[in-house]
Chain A
Amino acid sequence: MSALGSSRSGYDAIKDLYEEKRTFTSRVVFAAILCLVMIGLLAARLVELQLVQHDYYTTRADDNRMRLTAIAPVRGLIYDRNGALLAQNVPSFVLDITPERVKNLNDTLARLKAYVNISDQDIARFRERMRKGPRYRSVTLRSNLTPEEVARYQLNRYEFDGVEVNAGLVRNYPLGESAAHVIGYVGGISEADYARLDEASYQGLSQIGKSGVERSHEDQLRGMPGAKIVEANASGRPLRELDSQPGSSGQNLFLSLDAKLQLVAEKALGDLEGAVVAIDPRNGEVLALVSKPGYDPKLFVEGIDAKSYRALLEDKTRPLYNRALLGTYPPGSTIKPFMATAALNFRTVTPDTAVYCGGSMTLPGSSRKYRCHKRQGHGTVNLDGAIAKSCDIYFYQAAQNLGIDRIDEILGQFGFGSQTGIDIPNEKGGLLPSKEWKRRVYKQAWFPGETLSIGIGQGYLTTTPLQLAQATARVAMRGQGFKPHVVHAISDPSTGAITGVAPEPLPPLTGQNADLLERVIHSMEQVNMFPGGTAYRAFKDAPYSSAGKTGTAQVAALKQDEKIAPTLEGTPKHLRDHALFIAFAPVDEPRIAVAVIAEHAGHGGSVAAPVARQVMDQYLLGEVRYGVDASTAAAAESAAAAAAAAAGETLDPEQDEDGPSTHDHGDEPPAASPVTR
């Protein structure tokens, strides 16, 4: 070894080159050992990751890339009894936003406006629905995009993370407002909905049946979602399908509703607020169910914003409210056939019992006058006359003789006071008052005078239009009853199999004599088919037999000292009487039973009966022979009434007010106003 690597410095002399080399060699050896140790460290960690935890990380990697995407099932269609479409699905491009994946929502919305027409209302609606759902769920901003809008958006889609245009199906109701209360509508699934539903059944779905048949038959209509596994990249874009499992479409419903009849009934009611229910008495199928005014279900399908919704809710005419099922009205004189049935069965009257009507009566020990709608009285009336002319005194006495307990027993059998159990949600049962009920609610004893009010369908007694139609159908069938229903048949689109919904018979009437019911029906025929009957004018030229009963339910009580009934036009609208009518036809082989209520429209015979006539014409004859529509009839009627009032005489054969209590048609329980003041 010699000194090499020559250096200019003088340190060479004292450098121990051999020692230096030896130190260096040991350092290299140590460094190599250190390298191996560190490699061992890396290797240990890699073994841990790649062997020990391999399964865990494989799962995580698959979770990363695989997206389970639900395939939304196609919602079942809804048809009427003749196969006319009531609810369908139409293709539509929708713009969906997944809130979780949008960094700056305001900015995104502002930029989207450059390509897609977005109104403030759309945004308000979107924000509301976004608030209600979880953030990872996509929310529709706009539906029914035009092809131009779709194209414009697609060209610029890279600018918008979390925004997607999807081709989807949108629920559509071809009849619009018509039958909206029966069909109902679908709407966005709310937080509250999520709380009770089975999430697995709603994968990929954003809407749920909110009302009507859409809600009651949600499970059949919905179908089962399928699923596909797609591989997606980090920004969530699906790249290829790995696996897919088809779901099943929802089942199609055939309603018992007759769309044509429904339209006729709606048209017949015109601009009046009220309800029409038509039932096939032979099986309980609902043929028409009208509640006016209506609403456009489209608003809810597209997602209604708070302001419009509030406007609908606060609308005084309550368009969302299904009057046919929820409206509880005093039945007025339409209760009389049922009251007569009770009186006949308990023999408090016979068909030929004569009662003298002098225009008013009093109860013993009271100065309170119970008046007939006919000031000067009907004279002597028997059952036929009392029903045909709607004499109040006859039924005051009948009710008085019966007593409230026996009235309850018979009326209860006809379904008053309890829900019918129809297959659409939200139904009220009306109120059939009893002694027990009054003690419970008012902590008071039952007064005999109250029984009298019940006798003419006033007082605490309230019914829904559906209940009235149902009770009428039962009378028509001479006591045999079926539960009313609107779903007629269900068809499975995959097999084509159609399953009919069997009529559900109700328990038979007990302790009632069928012959006596026949007597009542006979008197109801008088109403429609004989001159002097309160609905004769509406039915005189009908080519079929029919039986009915008019009613005029009092909204505001007449003051005791008031001699002359106020005219229709002299009364504020919300205090005017409700016009009611129940009927069925043909009398011997009934095929249709109808109940009509027109709120604040005046008299049953002149306003409500023509509506029923038109419905029956349409159903039995296939066309409307009755030419006058209800609202013009009402106008003519009120004009005539005004003239009559001015002349100081009662012209109309039917004006059965003078019920002593005050009622509104709204929710139960009725305003507390004891009969005897």
Chain B
Amino acid sequence: MNTHVLSRAPQQSVGLADQLAKLHIDLWLGLLLLALGVVGLLVQYSASGHSMAVVINQAERLGLGFGVMIIAAQAPPEFYRSAAPWLYGFGVLMLLAVLVLGDHAKGAQRWLDLGVLRFQPSEILKLAMPMAVAAYLHTRPLPPKPMTILVTLAIIGVPTVLIAMQPDLGTAMLVLAAGVLALYFGGLGVRWILLVLAAAAAAAPLLWYKLHDYQRNRVLTFLDPERDPLGTGYHITQSKIAIGSGGLFGKGWLAGTQAKLDFLPESHTDFIFAVFSEELGLLGVAVLMALYAAIVGRGLYIALRGQDSFQRLLAGSLAMTFFVYVFINMGMVIGLLPVVGVPLPLVSFGGTSAVTLLAGFGMLMSVYTHRKLLAN
């Protein structure tokens, strides 16, 4: 009896992960994401000025997101591979539709109003892009040949340009990153990578003339935040004040003055990291970064365990895109990057991006939990 119990105990703990895996849920990823979601809700509560309504609203969205994640994890990777071209095609069509029919919000056409549902087709591409590139490269010998690369670049380029035309530079960058990262994981030659970087550098001045005034202002303001301290530069200046004044230990949860007294704009959406840093300090930031790093690391680990090119490229791309998300948001909030509308994943207020992200993690779980038992 005694020995029985003793021998059961470790088996049980292993058993939980196994049992969840049977439900196609990855325990570690799930726990890390859940922890992140809880951190997000706590910061939401503070940043929204103690609004339970905001917290409940966000919790509902996260709940929906986790639901979608679990559902997404049930479908096998093969399903995603075969669905990739369809989803991609649908997404591009929607993007075209949005350019023609879309709603205007904040001077940009991003939303499509379907009567019952308003959604951003660019969100579809966040998933469809890595799926499509991974699925295409899955059918090619890797590392990809020049012809393959050109086709892939076309697959990446079309929706990116369409999204950039809305204009939604932040999402366009994320979608571009998702495609390029899949291509990178596919074994894109180093020379090609350098070539792409060079092309990007060459295109930058051209792109400058294509930018809207507010986008140019953001870039100019990024280069010199004090140039317009009450206009565009205000965000970034106030954000830096919030973070800097947080110091090592922070001012304490609910004790941040910058957000509470409305000095920090967009405090519970794009700039929530500033609130977090102000209240919880550098130590809190270290914990948060570790959480993100762990999620990315788990994603890359899952990618390594992928059983075919599609799975690996998709998982690698999703994991790294998640990191790009975090990097762009944090970089912009601390003044390392220009201000582009990228939320801090799962922490910023906003349902659409959370649901899309969690759906992506559902795919990662699918890749991990649908592995066929092999010789090893």
Q: Which residues of A does B touch, CB under 8 Å?
A: 4-5, 7, 9, 11, 14-16, 19-21, 23-25, 27-28, 31-32, 35-36, 38-39, 41-43, 45-47, 49-51, 53-54, 56-58, 60-62, 64-65, 231-235, 239
**B141 x A11 contact (CB < 8 A):** yes
What sequence of 0s and 1s flags, for each residue 247-279 of chain B, a beta carbon within 8 Å of any chain A beta carbon? 110000000011001110000000000000100
* Contact between B241 and A64, CB atoms less than 8 A apart: yes
**Interface flag for B310 (CB, 8 Å):** yes
**B307 is an interface residue with CB less than 8 A from chain A:** yes
Q: How far is the CA of A412 from the CA of B313 in the complex (A)?
A: 110
Residues A23 and B187 in contact, CB atoms below 8 Å apart: yes
Question: Is the CB of B285 closer than 8 A to any CB of chain A?
Answer: yes
Contact call B297/A234, Cβ cutoff below 8 A? no
Contacting A46 at CB < 8 Å: which of B140, B277, B296, B374?
A: B277
Q: Once bound together, how far apart are the Cα atoms of A20 and B312, in whole Å?
A: 10
Q: Which residues of A contact B308 (CB under 8 A)?
A: 4-5
Report the bound CA distance from A605 to B171 in whole Å. Answer: 99
Given A11-B141, A20-B309, A23-B142, the answer on whether A50 and B187 have CB atoms closer than 8 Å is no
Chain A residues with CB below 8 A from B312, complex form: 21, 24
B86-127, CB < 8 A from A: none
User: Does A24 lie within 8 Å of B185, measured CB to CB?
Assistant: yes
Q: Is B311 an interface residue (CB 8 A)?
A: yes
A49 CA to B333 CA in the complex, in Å? 12
Q: Given A11-B140, A235-B262, do A50 and B243 touch, yes or no (CB 8 Å)? A: yes
- Does B246 sit at the interface, judged by CB under 8 A? yes
CA distance A235 to B263 in the complex (A): 8
What are the interface flags for B231-254 relative to A under an 8 Å C-beta threshold, 1 for contact and 0 otherwise?
A: 000000010111111111000000
With contacts A4-B308, A27-B316, A32-B297 taken as known, whether A54 is within 8 angstroms of B185 at the C-beta atoms is no
- Nearest to B247 among chain A residues (CB) is A54
Beyond A24-B187, A28-B316, A32-B300, 13 additional contacts (C-beta under 8 Å) are: A4-B308, A4-B374, A5-B311, A28-B303, A31-B185, A39-B289, A41-B336, A45-B336, A54-B245, A58-B244, A61-B263, A64-B238, A65-B258
14 intermolecular pairs with C-beta atoms under 8 Å apart: A5-B307, A5-B310, A11-B141, A35-B293, A36-B293, A43-B286, A46-B282, A49-B240, A50-B243, A50-B244, A54-B247, A57-B243, A61-B242, A234-B263
Contact B311 A51 (CB under 8 A): no
Instruction: Write the chain A residue with the least CB distance to B77.
Output: A5
Whether B327 lies near A38 (C-beta < 8 A) is yes
Q: Which residues of A contact B225 (CB under 8 A)?
A: none
Give the chain A neighbours of B141 by CB distance below 8 A: 11, 14-16
In the complex formed, the residue of B with least CB distance to A239 is: B261
Give Cα distance in the complex from A5 to B316, angstroms.
17
User: What is the bound-complex CA distance between A47 and B244, given in angstroms?
Assistant: 9
A13 nearest CB across to chain B (Å): 10
Contact B334 A46, beta carbon cutoff 8 Å: yes
A42 to B289, CA, bound (A): 9
Q: Who on chain B is nearest to A47 by CB?
A: B282
Closest 9 CB pairs of A and B: A57-B244, A5-B308, A61-B245, A234-B262, A233-B261, A23-B187, A49-B244, A50-B282, A57-B245
B139 at the interface (CB under 8 A from A): yes
**Chain B facing A: main interface SS:** helix
Which residues of chain B from 294 to 330 have a CB within 8 Å of any chain A CB? 296-297, 300, 303-304, 307-313, 316, 320, 323, 327, 330
Name the B residues within 8 Å of A233 (CB-CB): 261-263
Minimal beta-carbon separation of B313 from chain A (angstroms): 8
* Interface status of B159 (Cβ within 8 A of chain A): no
> Is B335 located at the chain interface by the 8 A CB criterion?
yes
In the bound complex, do residue A24 and residue B316 qualify as a contact, i.e. CB atoms below 8 Å apart?
yes
Q: Per a CB cutoff under 8 Å, which of B241, B285, B297, B336 touches A60?
A: B241
Q: How far is the CB of A169 from chain B (nearest CB, A)?
A: 30
B304 cross-chain contacts in A, Cβ below 8 A: 24-25, 28
Tell me whether A20 and B187 are in contact in the complex, defined as CB-CB below 8 angstroms, given that A31-B300, A65-B261 are known contacts: yes
Q: How far is B242's CA from A65's CA once the two chains are assembled, in angstroms?
A: 12
- For the complex formed, measure the closest distance between the CB of B255 and the CB atoms of chain A, giving whole angstroms: 12
Decide if B61 is an interface residue (CB 8 Å cutoff). Answer: no
Q: A50-B282, A65-B261 in contact; A27/B185 too (CB < 8 A)?
A: yes
In contact, B241 and A45 (Cβ under 8 angstroms): no
* A102 CB → nearest B CB, Å: 15
Kindly list chain B residues whose C-beta atoms are within 8 Å of the C-beta of A60.
241, 244-245
Q: Is the CB of B257 within 8 A of A64?
A: yes
Residue-wise, chain B 173-201 has the 8 Å CB interface mask toward A (1 for contact) of: 00000000100110100000000000000
What are the residues of chain B within 8 A of A235 when measuring CB–CB? 262
Given contacts A28-B303, A42-B331, A233-B262, contact A20 B243 (CB under 8 A): no
Partner of B372, one of A4, A24, A49: A4
Complex CA gap A586/B95 in Å reads 107
CB-contacts of B122-171 with A (<8 A)? 138-143
B281 close to A (CB within 8 Å): yes
Q: Are B138 and A5 in contact (CB under 8 A)?
A: yes
Bound Cα distance A4, B311 (Å): 12
B246 touches A50 (CB 8 A): yes
Task: Find the residue from A4, A49, A57, A232 having the highest chain B CB count within 10 A.
Answer: A49
Residues of A contacting B281 in the complex (Cβ-Cβ under 8 angstroms): 50
Which residues on B sit within 8 Å (CB–CB) of A35?
Answer: 293, 296, 320, 323
Contact check, B138 vs A7: say whether CB atoms are below 8 A apart.
Answer: yes
Bound-state Cα–Cα, A7 to B78, Å: 10
A23 in complex: contacting residue of B143, B181, B262, B293, CB < 8 Å? B143
The reply to whether A51 and B263 contact each other, CB–CB distance below 8 Å, is no
Q: Known contacts being A24-B316, A49-B243, is A42 close to B263, with CB within 8 Å?
A: no
Asked if B138 and A54 make an inter-chain contact with CB atoms under 8 angstroms apart, the answer reads no
For residue A36, which residues in chain B have a CB less than 8 angstroms away from its CB?
293
Are A65 and B187 CB-contacts (below 8 A) given A5-B308, A11-B140, A20-B142?
no
Q: How far is the CA of A7 from the CA of B311 in the complex (A)?
A: 13
B282 & A57 in contact (Cβ 8 Å cutoff): no
Residues in A with CB closer than 8 Å to B244 are 49-50, 53-54, 56-58, 60-61
> A97 vs B367: C-alpha distance in the bound complex, in angstroms?
64
Q: Are A28 and B185 in contact (CB under 8 A)?
A: yes
| Contacting pair A57 B240 (CB below 8 A) | yes
Residue of B nearest to A16 (CB): B141
* B238 contact set on A, CB distance < 8 A: 64
The answer to whether B330 touches A42, judged by C-beta atoms less than 8 angstroms apart, is: yes
> Could you tell me the distance in whole angstroms from the C-beta of A509 to the nearest C-beta in chain B?
70
Q: Which residue of chain B has its CB nearest to the CB of A235? A: B262
B297 contacts across to A, CB distance below 8 A: 32
Cα(A25)–Cα(B335), bound, Å:
33
B214-237 near A? 1/0 per residue, CB < 8 Å: 000000000000000000000000
The answer to whether A61 and B248 touch (CB under 8 A), given A7-B138, A23-B187, A31-B300, is no
Q: How far is the CA of A54 from the CA of B278 in the complex (A)?
A: 11
Q: Is the CB of B303 within 8 A of A232?
A: no
User: How distant is the Cα of A15 from the Cα of B304 in the complex, in angstroms?
Assistant: 18
Q: In the bound complex, do residue A65 and residue B307 qualify as a contact, i.e. CB atoms below 8 Å apart?
A: no
B368 to chain A, nearest CB (A): 15
Contacts of A53 in B (CB 8 A): 244
On whether the beta carbons of A51 and B247 are closer than 8 Å, the reply is yes
Q: Which residue of chain B has its CB nearest to the CB of A38?
A: B327
The distance in angstroms between the C-alpha atoms of A64 and B282, with both chains bound, is 22
Residues of chain A within 8 A of B286, CB atoms compared: 43
Q: Say yes or no: B185 contacts A58, CB within 8 Å.
A: no
Contact B243 A46 (CB under 8 A): yes
How far is A51 from B285 in the complex, measured between Cα atoms in Å?
A: 13
Chain B residues with CB under 8 A of A25: 304
Q: Are B258 and A64 in contact (CB under 8 A)?
A: yes
CB distance from A116 to the nearest CB of B (A): 27
Provide the bound-state CA to CA distance between A56 and B237, in Å.
Answer: 13
Contacts of B320 in A (CB 8 A): 31, 35
**Best-buried of A21, A45, A57 by chain B (most CB within 10 Å):** A57
Q: Could you tell me the distance between the alpha carbons of A150 and B239 in the complex, rounded to whole angstroms?
A: 38
B263 and A49 contact, CB distance less than 8 A: no
* Bound Cα distance from A11 to B144, whole angstroms: 12
Q: Can you list, as one digit per residue, whether each of B72-92 has a CB less than 8 Å from chain A (1) or not (0)?
A: 000000100000000000000
